[in-house]
Amino acid sequence: MAGANRPLLTKLLLPGKCADWELIGFAPSEGSFQVGQVSCVVGAAELGWAFDTGGDGPDRLCGILTEQFAALPADRGSSQQPNGVFKVDHVVVVSESPSQTKAVFESFGLVGKGARSVGSGDSQRSQCFFWSGELLIELVGPAVEQQGASPRARIWGVTFVVDEFVALLALGGGLISGPRDAVQAGRQIATAGLQQELGVELAFISPHNKSPGA
């Protein structure tokens, strides 16, 4: 549950004009839209985030712009967007030294779990996950870190959960690619165009399979 996985990521600072976000089915109002526990502020000069830390915190977390405090939205039941998005599934963070970044994240209060390596050879990458309420922060980096690598990190992408893909696919114009089978069994994923305009990689994924053993 959200209360057991703190600090909660409660705000994302996202580049891109409101008109570009509207093209892919979001409905910003006064420069932001809400999905689940997260308030997404668009038109930001820099990718960043904020947490409900309840007190002072760093203004940079491994180089990522971090606002001091953002309270959990009071009403999360009315946050579904016109494109079917109703919450954030995960936020992808990349680092050239994921082990050092992981240590900083954990000192901030995030709890890392599910570390693994994927791929092989020179393309092998490490992954580590941090629950933050109803969403995950996925930390990605090289499986073999170079000596002297910096823990400086950046937000690379955001994956939203959709109840179905009908509204997204109706957007047309080549704005959405997919859906196709996701890595997680029983789920499907689609990706958005406009990455250059939005300044962040975006994907849309179906809800978790709730069947026994999932």
The answer to whether position 123 is within a domain reads yes
Asked if residue 125 lies in contact with residue 117, where contact means CB atoms within 8 angstroms, the answer is: yes
Entry pTM: 0.90
Please tell me the predicted confidence (pLDDT) of residue 197: 87
Where in the sequence is the domain holding 188, given as residue range(s)? 2-205
Per the structure, how many domains does the chain have?
1
In a domain, 148, yes or no: yes
Q: Is residue 213 part of a domain?
A: no
Is residue 182 a part of any domain in this protein?
yes
User: Does 166 reside within a domain?
Assistant: yes
* Residue 212 in domain: no
pLDDT along the chain (214 residues), means of 10: 71 95 94 94 96 79 88 69 96 95 94 75 83 94 88 96 94 89 92 88 90 45
At 77 the pLDDT is 54
Using left for φ > 0, alpha for ψ between -120 and 50, and beta otherwise, residue 16 falls in: left
Phi, psi of 39 (to 5 degrees): -95, 120
Q: Is residue 214 part of a domain?
A: no
210 part of a folded domain? no
The residue whose two tokens read 């047309």 is: 172
Cα 77 to the chain's mean position, in Å?
20
pLDDT score recorded for residue 68: 77
What CATH number is given to the structural domain containing 145? 3.10.180.10
